[in-house]
């Protein structure tokens, strides 16, 4: 199968890569671009471990064909930290022990960022609904919800 030349902006940098048309954006990010933060959990859009922002919208990268990303702006978990300083969400996840095995964490961080951009002061219920597309089999979610609440407070104060 022919490979398509795809031009994107990923985490602020212009990135060109080649991918087969039927390759998922997730596989292209991991195997062609070398960004392995986004994880494959289910591969069917149920678990959210592969979440990225594509043109500012939270998306399961496993459901996107790589050529669809041509011309798109993408943010992966690798782009959250700023010049080595962790994003408030990352810091709050660490301090609140909102992760155990860590497979779901990149997806949660991206989905939480999208949620807080849309709603900077969400209720606990809004956080739980907003993160319903992300599954975690370790934490039981409470620590994740509390970490997002804490990060929301810090981000509003900034």
Partner 1 sequence: MLSSSPSAQVFAGATDLVPQIRGGYPTPDVLVDLKKIDQLVSLANDADKWTVGAATPTVRLTEDQAFSQEFPGLSEAAGLIGSDQIQSRSSLGGNLCNGSPAADSVPAMVVNGVRALVAGPKGSRVIDVADVVTGPGEISLASDEFIVEFEIDRMPTRTADAYLRMIPRTEMDIAVVGVGARIGLSDDGTIAEALVVLGAVAPTAVRVNGAEDALIGSTADDDTLAVVAAAASEACNPIDDKRGTIAYREQVAGVLAKRAVRIAMERAEQRNGDV
DSSP state of 9: E
Comparing CB distances to partner 1, the nearer of 95 and 126 is 126
Residue 123 in the binding site for partner 1 (CB under 8 A): no
Calculate the alpha carbon distances from 141 to 1, 94, 104, 146 in Å.
42, 14, 11, 9
How far apart (Å, rounded) are the C-alpha atoms in residues 46 and 132? 9
How far apart (Å, rounded) are the C-alpha atoms in residues 130 and 99? 18
One of 15, 35, 38, 54 touching partner 1 (CB under 8 A)? 54
Token output for 30: 């991991």
Which residue reads 């620590």 in tokens? 143
Residue 129 in the binding site for partner 1 (CB under 8 A): yes
CA 131-33-69 angle, 5° bins: 60
Q: Identify residues 55-84 at the interface with partner 1 (CB under 8 A).
A: 57-60, 62-65, 67-68
Minimal distance, residue 157 CB to partner 1, in Å: 25
Residue 21 in the binding site for partner 1 (CB under 8 A): yes
Minimal distance, residue 84 CB to partner 1, in Å: 28
Interface contacts to partner 1, rule CB under 8 A: 21-22, 24, 43-46, 48, 51, 54, 57-60, 62-65, 67-68, 111, 114-115, 129-130, 132-134
């Amino acid at each position: 199968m022919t490979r398509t030349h795809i031009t994107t902006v990923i985490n602020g940098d212009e990135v060109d890569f080649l991918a087969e048309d039927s390759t998922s954006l997730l596989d292209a990010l991991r195997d062609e671009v070398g960004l392995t933060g986004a994880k494959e959990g289910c591969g069917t859009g149920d678990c959210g471990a592969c979440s990225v922002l594509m043109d500012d919208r939270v998306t399961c990268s496993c459901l996107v064909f790589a050529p669809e990303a041509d011309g798109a702006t993408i943010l992966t978990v690798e782009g959250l930290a700023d010049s080595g300083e962790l994003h408030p969400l990352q810091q709050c996840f660490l301090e609140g022990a909102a992760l155990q095995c860590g497979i779901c964490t990149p997806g949660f961080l991206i989905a939480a960022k999208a949620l807080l951009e849309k709603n900077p002061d969400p209720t606990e219920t809004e956080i739980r609904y907003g993160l319903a597309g992300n599954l975690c089999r370790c934490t039981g979610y409470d620590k994740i919800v509390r970490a997002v609440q804490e990060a929301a407070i810090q981000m509003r104060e900034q």
